[in-house]
Amino acid sequence: MRTIIAEVIINRVSKRLNKTFSYIVPEKFASVKAGTRCLVSFAGKHEEGIILSITDADPDQFDYKLQYILDVMDTEPWFTEQMLLLAYWIAAYYMCPLIEALRLFLIDKVGIQREYTYEILWDNIPAGSEFSSLIDHSVKSLHEKDAELIFGGHLKECLDQSYLIRRELLSSVHAAPVERWIEFVSTPKESDLIRSSKQKLLWGLLKTEKAIPVRNLKEQGISDAVVRAYCNKGFAKVIYKAKDTYSLITDSNTRGNEKNPTEEQFNAINEISKLIDKSSYEGVLLKGVTGSGKTEVYLQCAKHALEKGGSALILVPEISLTNQLTSYFASVFGDDVVFMHSKLSKGEKYNNRQRIVNGESRIIIGSRSALFLPFKNLKLIVVDEEYDSSYKQGESPRYNGRDVAKMMAKISNCPIVLGAATPSIATYYAALSGKIRLIELKHRVFNTPLPKILIYDMRGDYSNSGRLISMPLRELLEKTLENKRKAILLLNKRGFASTLICSSCGYVFKCPNCDVSFVYHKEENLLKCHYCGTTSIPPYKCPKCGNRKIRYLGWGTELIEKELKEDFPQARSQRFDLDSTSRKNSAQRILNDFKNDKIDILFGTQMVAKGHDIPNVNTVGILSADSILNMPTYLAAEQTFNLITQCAGRAGRGKERGEVILQTYNPEHYVIETAARQDYEKFYEQEVEFRKMLGYPPFLKLLKITCFNKDYNTAVNQANTIYRFLCEANKKLKAKVSFTEPFPEPIKRVRNLYFISILIKGSNFVDLKNLMRNSVIFKENDIIIDVDPI
Ligand code: ADP
Ligand code: ZN
């Protein structure tokens, strides 16, 4: 006899479970499709699973007894075919367990919990029943154990009678907060309602609306008791629906009128629209100088995708900072736009996702997590600021959103537009070698020249007594404030002082869990570790020698605050970094204040450099251009060039030319020189030479393997094992790889773990990855594998 069999992956991250298991699909779920989440019994426990495929087979051919799927959790598969394909690719390319890749697509990592809370639905419990006397009316929900104690053997009965809801199960099915609605069942006769004017009122509402949130009835004076009485007569019933928490980020100041495209914009829109019509994959680099109006190109192309009956995905690096793009899109497309990013609540995510499923929203704007949605007929993907390192996820799966987006475009047969003023070296290389198409916007919309950038050599800056803001910058700020213009200052480090040191014995205050010194945050008067988040009260004496003279060295954004207060007491200045924007929407508020002339000087970390388009910003000060240049990554030069261009690009976007002062200790460095001249081509030529010489991407690919352990020697030994594995592997590989000896990470201890790495270079890793997959070393140990590390 043939039966429907489902291949199910258990939603638990465990090396042992990185495979599928077969289950019989019972008759009542016969129409279930691949991609559906389900409930199965596994090793004696109820587990959530994801059905990866459905086949017809004879259950007797298996050498073990197949179990049945207990329940299905979705009416429509959670995973579309494209989503499953993308998950398979992520797991294979980034070498993570398949379930980890699949989890990227889920809103609740695990829908089904083994512990439940029970919500008590008092309205459903008949007055005077034995259950109503069991517990206090003020109780709304109970933990599993308490519920078992109180309801005992009646627990199941109470669930069947809808006196209780299993909250966890409910939230996994609906995944969103629910609220009570009253729904029409049958038409009452006038005599049925004769004695209650409130019930008549309710009938009047239900006649037209059919279903109403109970919450809304309160305003009309219809109480819970009325609702209950009405339902008890059988004319209506109470149902639970996901709460509507659909939310837009809007900025009331902008009203979107589409613009008349410039000639360059027009050509770009035209070319991309033609690619949309072709419905096939093609990569495009839209290289447009800052202020050239890339946003308008994205918008018009998205509009074209919509007109062709499709949807469009716009990825931005940090959505809370791209106010202007999001609000512009929202003002033009209204409800057709939906947002997806990590700061949304689960309910908001669920509801926004539901809008996409229902086809109500066809333009999706979001950070990298927006890639994992059930798009309908995707016709365009845009990756704005494609070089941005925030597209890379720091934890497993360590994917790069830009590259996953490319794969999604391939799966969806649509073009992908990578936008940037300063493309990553890899992307520009691909464009120049014809792998992707190059479209350029060479002029700013208002033809304002790019800002004038002046290099200030900090090496001779003795007269300024170690201040962050140099004399010329101070003078420029004075002029800016006099002319009622605004300024942005960038310093790439938070806090007030980056090192505390005892001036007597030289003791340095370090994080107890990491191999880094504490950063002093003056506003909170705390020492903070920027790696693990540990905080500590600043000491008044040295714990080693007892001396009370403790010196604060180094600098951070809080130090600018102090200097500005001293130099410009009348100016309204505001810090803009992770510390000052930790609350929801606070970044938004600060940017709006800056836009509305309530702030004169905005200063902070690289957050100040992101694509804001704020009028009247004429001055930009980059306080230490070198801070990123010294970072231990092959991308340091590229990231420095990009940050300088981005930040400078905030100045003079209107009709007046902006002025930028670039403070540096390396004025002759090719990155600083070319960035100051805004000469991307020259920078590219130099950088691509270095990459070629040193064997870095785009010429060779990178893969980093990191071992970690509480014990330093254990981590080293493990790394040595891998080193030997690689030596052996290389003998078998067609495409040979080269690799370093094991080395401690620049910060070799974080959160009490030691990190020892090996960096591998090669033209491709296909064979190597296969060897790694089949090796017990990687099966049995927790090892970090970072494909395309940054
Ligand atoms: P980019 O992202 O390339 O730096 P933006 O998209 O932010 O540039 O555009 C820069 C400014 O030019 C914005 O204020 C935008 O509203 C304006 N703009 C863009 N295109 C046009 C146009 N065709 N006509 C008028 N203003 C435009
Ligand atoms: Zn720490």
Question: Which residue reads 């420095």 in tokens?
Answer: 640
**265 in ligand 1 pocket by Cβ < 6 Å?**
yes
Is residue 513 one of the residues assigned to a domain? no
- 271 and 418 together in one domain: yes
pLDDT of residue 1: 67
User: Is 511 assigned to a binding site?
Assistant: yes
pLDDT of residue 680: 96
Task: Please say whether the beta carbons of 737 and 681 come within 8 A.
Answer: no
Q: Which segments within 129-256 are labelled E, that is strand?
A: 141-143, 164-166, 178-184, 211-213, 236-242
Gap from CA of 479 to ligand 1 centroid (Å): 27
- In ligand 1, the atom with minimum distance to the C-alpha of 328 is 16
Per the structure, the complete domain to which residue 748 belongs is given by 701-787
pLDDT of residue 254: 47
Whether pLDDT at 251 is above 60: no
Task: Please say whether the beta carbons of 718 and 707 come within 8 A.
Answer: yes
Name the more confident of 448 and 488: 488
Is residue 227 one of the residues assigned to a domain? yes
Whether pLDDT at 249 is above 50: no
Which of 17-26, 239-248, 531-540, 651-660 has the lowest average pLDDT?
A: 239-248
Is residue 528 one of the residues assigned to a domain? no
Per-residue pLDDT tens digits for 347-406: 778 888 888 998 999 999 999 999 999 999 999 999 999 999 999 999 999 999 999 999
Confidence band of 487 (pLDDT split at 50, 70, 90)? very high
pLDDT of residue 246: 47
**261 in ligand 1 pocket by Cβ < 6 Å?**
yes
**290 in ligand 1 pocket by Cβ < 6 Å?**
yes
Whether pLDDT at 637 is above 70: yes
Smallest Cα–Cα separation from 491: which of 601, 565, 589, 386? 601
Q: What is the mean pLDDT of residues 250-269?
A: 76
Cis omega (within 30 of 0) on the bond before 742? no
**Rounded distance between C-alpha atoms, residue 7 and residue 53, angstroms:** 5
User: Which protein residue's CA is at the shortest distance from atom 5 of ligand 1?
Assistant: 293
- 482 and 628 together in one domain: yes
Whether pLDDT at 160 is above 60: yes
Element (H, E) at 356: helix 346-357
- In ligand 1, the atom with minimum distance to the C-alpha of 441 is 3
Confidence band of 615 (pLDDT split at 50, 70, 90)? confident
The domain total for the chain is 5
- 492 and 634 together in one domain: yes
Task: Please say whether the beta carbons of 508 and 500 come within 8 A.
Answer: yes
Gap from CA of 752 to ligand 2 centroid (Å): 8
pLDDT of residue 253: 43
pLDDT of residue 467: 85
- 413 and 303 together in one domain: yes
Q: What is the mean pLDDT of residues 705-712?
A: 96
Q: What is the pTM of this model?
A: 0.83
Residue 141 CB: number of other CB atoms within 10 A? 13
330 alpha carbon, distance to own chain's centre: 20
End-to-end CA distance of the chain: 54
Per-residue pLDDT tens digits for 681-705: 999 999 999 999 999 999 999 999 9
Task: Please say whether the beta carbons of 603 and 560 come within 8 A.
Answer: yes
Q: What is the mean pLDDT of residues 597-619?
A: 88
**296 in ligand 1 pocket by Cβ < 6 Å?**
yes
* Chosen domain end from 57, 79, 101: 79
- 364 and 381 together in one domain: yes
Q: How far is CA 652 from CA 469, 470, 476, 488, 660, in A?
A: 21, 21, 14, 11, 10
Smallest Cα–Cα separation from 10: which of 37, 52, 47, 54? 47
Whether pLDDT at 113 is above 60: no
User: Which protein residue's CA is at the shortest distance from atom 25 of ligand 1?
Assistant: 259
Contacts 24+ apart (CB under 8 A), 686-695: 687/425, 687/637, 687/638, 687/641, 688/425, 688/429, 690/637, 691/425, 691/634, 694/634, 695/738, 695/761
User: Which protein residue's CA is at the shortest distance from atom 10 of ligand 1?
Assistant: 291
Per-residue pLDDT tens digits for 41-58: 898 888 889 999 999 988
pLDDT of residue 518: 92
Smallest Cα–Cα separation from 759: which of 781, 714, 789? 789
Per-residue pLDDT tens digits for 449-461: 888 999 999 887 7
- 134 and 184 together in one domain: yes
Q: Which segments within 349-505 are labelled E, that is strand?
A: 363-366, 378-383, 415-420, 437-441, 452-457, 486-490, 499-502
Is residue 326 one of the residues assigned to a domain? yes
Whether pLDDT at 248 is above 50: no
* Chosen domain end from 693, 713, 748: 693
Question: Which residue reads 């839209």 in tokens?
Answer: 286
Per-residue pLDDT tens digits for 161-170: 778 877 655 4
- 687 and 708 together in one domain: no
User: Which protein residue's CA is at the shortest distance from atom 9 of ligand 1?
Assistant: 293
Q: What is the chain's mean pLDDT, rounded?
A: 88
Confidence band of 250 (pLDDT split at 50, 70, 90)? very low
**Rounded distance between C-alpha atoms, residue 499 and residue 83, angstroms:** 47
Per-residue pLDDT tens digits for 493-506: 888 888 889 988 99
Return the CATH number at 752: 3.30.70
Q: What is the mean pLDDT of residues 750-774?
A: 95
- 739 and 608 together in one domain: no
**288 in ligand 1 pocket by Cβ < 6 Å?**
yes
User: Which protein residue's CA is at the shortest distance from atom 12 of ligand 1?
Assistant: 293
pLDDT of residue 171: 45
Is residue 357 one of the residues assigned to a domain? yes
pLDDT of residue 382: 98
User: Which protein residue's CA is at the shortest distance from atom 6 of ligand 1?
Assistant: 293
User: Is 502 assigned to a binding site?
Assistant: yes
Which of 193-197, 274-278, 419-423, 556-560 has the lowest average pLDDT?
A: 193-197
* Chosen domain end from 657, 677, 693: 693
Whether pLDDT at 432 is above 90: yes
User: Is 301 assigned to a binding site?
Assistant: no
Q: What is the mean pLDDT of residues 22-37?
A: 94
pLDDT of residue 238: 81
Residue 462 CB burial class (10 angstroms; 0-12, 13-18, ≥19): exposed
Strand partners, 143: 117
Per-residue pLDDT tens digits for 65-94: 899 998 888 888 999 999 999 999 999 999
Confidence band of 252 (pLDDT split at 50, 70, 90)? very low
Confidence band of 14 (pLDDT split at 50, 70, 90)? confident
DSSP result, 116-162: -EEEE-GGGSPTT-HHHHHS-TT--EEEHHHHHHHHGGGHHHHHHTT
Residue 673 CB burial class (10 angstroms; 0-12, 13-18, ≥19): middle
Is residue 201 one of the residues assigned to a domain? yes
pLDDT of residue 723: 97
Gap from CA of 289 to ligand 1 centroid (Å): 11
Phi, psi of 48 (to 5 degrees): -85, 140
**259 in ligand 1 pocket by Cβ < 6 Å?**
yes
pLDDT of residue 121: 80
Burial call 309-321: b when 16+ CB within 10 Å, e when fewer = ebbbbbbbbbbbb
- 188 and 317 together in one domain: no
Which of 5-9, 374-378, 650-654 has the lowest average pLDDT?
A: 650-654
Per-residue pLDDT tens digits for 309-353: 999 999 999 776 666 788 889 889 988 999 888 878 777 788 888
**Rounded distance between C-alpha atoms, residue 784 and residue 396, angstroms:** 8
Provide the percentage of residues in the chain whose pLDDT is more than 70.
94
- 582 and 653 together in one domain: yes
- 278 and 418 together in one domain: yes
β-strands 117-120, 164-166 pairing: antiparallel
Is residue 101 one of the residues assigned to a domain? no
Is residue 219 one of the residues assigned to a domain? yes
Return the CATH number at 56: 3.40.1440.60
- 144 and 69 together in one domain: no
pLDDT of residue 173: 43
User: Is 647 assigned to a binding site?
Assistant: no
Return the CATH number at 585: 3.40.50.300
776 alpha carbon, distance to own chain's centre: 33
Gap from CA of 568 to ligand 2 centroid (Å): 35
Provide the percentage of residues in the chain whose pLDDT is more than 90.
55
Amino acid at 783: I
